[in-house]
Amino acid sequence: MIVLGAGSGGLAAAKRAASYGARVAIIEGDRVGGTCVIRGCVPKKLLVYGSKHVENVRNASRFGIDLNAIRINPGTLLENVRKEVDRLNKLHMDLLEKANVELIRGWGYFSDLNSVGVKTSDLSSPIKLEAKNILIAVGGRPRRPTIPGASLGWVSDDVFLQKSFPEKVVVIGAGFIACEFSCILNGLGIAVTQLVRGSSLLKGFDKELSSELQESMISRGIDLQFSKQIVSVEGQIGDLILTDNLRCHYNCGAVVFATGREPFLQGLNLESIGLKTIQNRIVVDTRNQTNIPHIFAVGDVTDRVNLTPVAIEEGRVFSDNLFNQKNRSVDYEFIPKAVFSQPEIACVGLSEEEALDKYGEDNISIYKARFRPMSKMLTSSEEKCLLKLVVQSKSGLVLGCHMLGDDSAEIIQMASIAIKMGAKKSDFDKTMALHPTIAEEFVTM
């Protein structure tokens, strides 16, 4: 098998196939590890931790700890994050070697139906490879808007490459990436304005939690502005002028475009082999097979559920079925999600809005708790936690579990096990509380 792309899905598929005795080559023109490891989840979460430490230090005096004036050096944090990314890149390369997967450095493309060419960095003649099966797992990339001056802005990939940040940054977008970067930069002492095209944050998440996060972000000093769409960027990096649809102007040192992601199909030469795509995504069936029987695709390039654990599972299931004659499928129900904003949002299952739409108001019960967490009691923060259970009234089945507050993602991961097993509200009620914790509110509602 040839695998195009050494990200989460491609690595998982390649190593699993090799474990069954398949001869596997994986092609990658960038560092090994993909979006999550190199320019996504991992470096972002490290920046989240760094920005949270600033808040902890600021509040230390409330807990009796004497500290001198706080000095924030984002450059040190960024440098250490890049070192960790380099370590993980080397680790994944070593794991491929141990798994007996051949790593070929360069950018792959289809030269014909049965062969893949590889453009190497040394500009020598392309390598040509053939295999019985070909897996496309090249992932996605940030979408840059098509407006004048867009090249002057950063996308999420660029943020991790900076040696320092300017005093003022404008973030464009309403999704989880936009909210996360706004909170990170704000925590690091940067003045942040976030411009949102619509009227709310985090489409697809529970509206009440999104609204609560919005209030918290504003209370932290983030300038959130809605119904604003940037139409042009002028100036030079470090001294930019943004103009919106209402002809308002924004001066800043940098702008981050967090306006979505898309499959990275550029350069694959898919048109020449007749591989079917719809709206820039590769179309696959339940076994990850494209319209060409020996060509498959997993992960963000199919634009189904664009999450690292999903891509990993898709890759493993694919190789289990193709190389070990299993009959597995990926279960896309009850996938937990998180926004590593400050505070965090995490959820699993149906939101209140989705449940009402599916079952009707008379068939849904909502249980929730909103309170100031103990971690804020000795500080000046009025930030609240919000926990919510969405329950089917007649059966008592828990359809959704949602939380905004400290460690939401860690807590929801465990709750997702219970919901996946079909837990009812009565099962939550019968579970003994662990006091004093935030999570106990889920069993005392």
Q: Residue by residue, what is the 3-state secondary structure of the chain? A: CEEECCCHHHHHHHHHHHHCCCCEEEEECCCCCHHHHHHCHHHHHHHHHHHHHHHHHHCHHHHCCCCCCCCCCHHHHHHHHHHHHHHHHHHHHHHHHHCCEEEEECEEEEEECCEEEEECCCCCCCEEEECCCEEECCCEEECCCCCCCHHHCECHHHHCCCCCCCCEEEEECCCHHHHHHHHHHHHCCCEEEEECCCCCCCCCCCHHHHHHHHHHHHHCCCEEECCCCEEEEEEECCEEEEEECCCCEEEECEEEECCCEEECCCCCCCHHHCCCEECCEECCCCCCECCCCCEEECHHHHCCCCCHHHHHHHHHHHHHHHHHCCCCCCCCCCCCEEECCCCCEEEEECCHHHHHHHHCHHHEEEEEEEECCHHHCCCCCCCCEEEEEEEECCCCEEEEEEEECCCHHHHHHHHHHHHHCCCEHHHHHHCCCCCCCCHHHHHCC
92 is catalytic: no
209's tokens: 């939690």
Q: Which listed residue (53, 249, 402, 435) is catalytic?
A: 435
Type of residue numbered 445: M
The residues that are catalytic are 435
